[in-house]
Structure 1
């Protein structure tokens, strides 16, 4: 229940559960749209600029290399024969799966304008454009993965539904995305590192992510918190806060 004296303004419908959103004031200035029913957060850039950079963030090469190694280790508890990545970027993760013997494919809109690993370009089944435009069944995979992609896409429901069509029976879909229900968003406010990228337009709660997965036809959804991502986000957020 809202605290006495709190005024809520009815906002647009939540993209996950269709409940009316309410304003969420950020420490340091700015306003997000928050769903009181499922905890989902939308970020209108005009109301929550958060001193964002001009372009999407391509990442620090050294940090990204370490994160890719840890992500690969986490995603591969057992051998998989085929992997499809939504938002493959430079293809670093797909290269690791290719070198491990998997057939690889992916889709990417080319937002970061980076060079793709030559081995992945030669041997992977790659589609340039939004995931929503992929023909159903264009690739079949034991594992569909998206690393920091769901916070960017125009239509998250369509993206998850497309991932479902790529999965073989018994396959897994794994998505890594910033947590809108993390303490960091509250503690750092507009200095939260995940607000620095202007193309970050949504942040999931554990509940809203599970609902989105279920709505796309994925079953048995679980939500985990990755320590490496949390530590790097906290460090970068603190640096932003001190620099402002």
Structure 2
């Protein structure tokens, strides 16, 4: 739990609820800024500059395809939407699946991952290259707005979510996945937590702060849960970093670390099934109010 306000120096206001944040000193050194009210975590730029990989992307393409397939299946559980807008479409893998299912696809991406975009998505999608905050309001009208591990990167999360909400049809659904700052990861692994390896991760939501953010931009039917299957390599990557492994392309660039992640996956899944706090990803589901 955060320490009382009178025991630590007050920090920057929380970007979600405006409460002064407190320093959260991590195992292994370094500190984050944590809100004592909503649990939202910010990463000071000085902390982001240390012990990270060179680029934002530090995963494995095969695992990413598997995660995209699982995410897609979850998003169409209640039927395939007619139109989809993605915040941070990256290489366009998720939009390609929706395109192939007959949906109109669109999205925004600032190009942080520096990857090529799927040619069919580029040819048939309505794409905006640049910060989401720069988009005109209601640039599209989508049944589904989705953001997969993007809110932790943006300049202003509330501005991004507010802009995304304008892309929804009345009654449309927004789904966002983001690392859980209130999971056991930062408490257990400290500065070696794998989510801190990405130099562009500048915040980590709690379940409370993510729900507050959604309500602050007038979304309704807000629900936040924790995913069992997402980011299965987080613990293996964190253990490798605790052991001092550092690579410019990230610890998952090591075949030994990646093999360890695959071998331990069944045990990690069992642990996550029993203890939700061990799940490193939050999922927000909310809707724009019907007209």
TM-score by length of 2: 0.80
Which residue is 1:157 aligned to? 158
Which residue is 2:217 aligned to? 216
Contact 1:56 1:197 in 2 (8 A): yes
> In the aligned structure 1, how far is the partner of 2:58 from the partner of 2:47?
24
> Relative to structure 1, is the Cα distance of residues 202 and 130 closer, same or farther in structure 2, using a 3 angstrom cutoff?
same
Query: Does 2:123 match 1:111?
Result: no
Which residue is 2:34 aligned to? 34
Which residue is 2:17 aligned to? 17
> In the aligned structure 2, how far is the partner of 1:22 from the partner of 1:3?
8
> In the aligned structure 1, how far is the partner of 2:83 from the partner of 2:186?
36
> In the aligned structure 1, how far is the partner of 2:97 from the partner of 2:9?
48
Contact 1:52 1:195 in 2 (8 A): yes
Which residue is 2:135 aligned to? 134
- State the shift of 1:158 in Å: 0.7
Which residue is 2:169 aligned to? 168
Q: Match of 2:17, SS? A: coil
Q: Which runs of 4+ in 1 moved over 6 A?
A: 1-4
> Relative to structure 1, is the Cα distance of residues 67 and 3 closer, same or farther in structure 2, using a 3 angstrom cutoff?
closer
> In the aligned structure 2, how far is the partner of 1:76 from the partner of 1:243?
41
Q: Match of 1:27, SS? A: coil
Deviations 1:61-115 (A, max 9, x none): 1110111001111111112100000000000000001111110000011112211
> In the aligned structure 2, how far is the partner of 1:76 from the partner of 1:88?
17
> In the aligned structure 2, how far is the partner of 1:36 from the partner of 1:243?
31
Which residue is 2:46 aligned to? 46
> In the aligned structure 2, how far is the partner of 1:148 from the partner of 1:207?
17
Contact 1:29 1:48 in 2 (8 A): no
> In the aligned structure 1, how far is the partner of 2:101 from the partner of 2:2?
52
Which residue is 1:84 aligned to? 85
> In the aligned structure 2, how far is the partner of 1:201 from the partner of 1:2?
19
> In the aligned structure 2, how far is the partner of 1:212 from the partner of 1:232?
27
TM-score by length of 1: 0.95
Which residue is 1:95 aligned to? 96
Contact 1:58 1:112 in 2 (8 A): no
Q: Match of 1:168, SS? A: strand
Which residue is 2:191 aligned to? 190
> In the aligned structure 1, how far is the partner of 2:49 from the partner of 2:26?
11
Structure 1 runs not aligned, ≥5 long: none
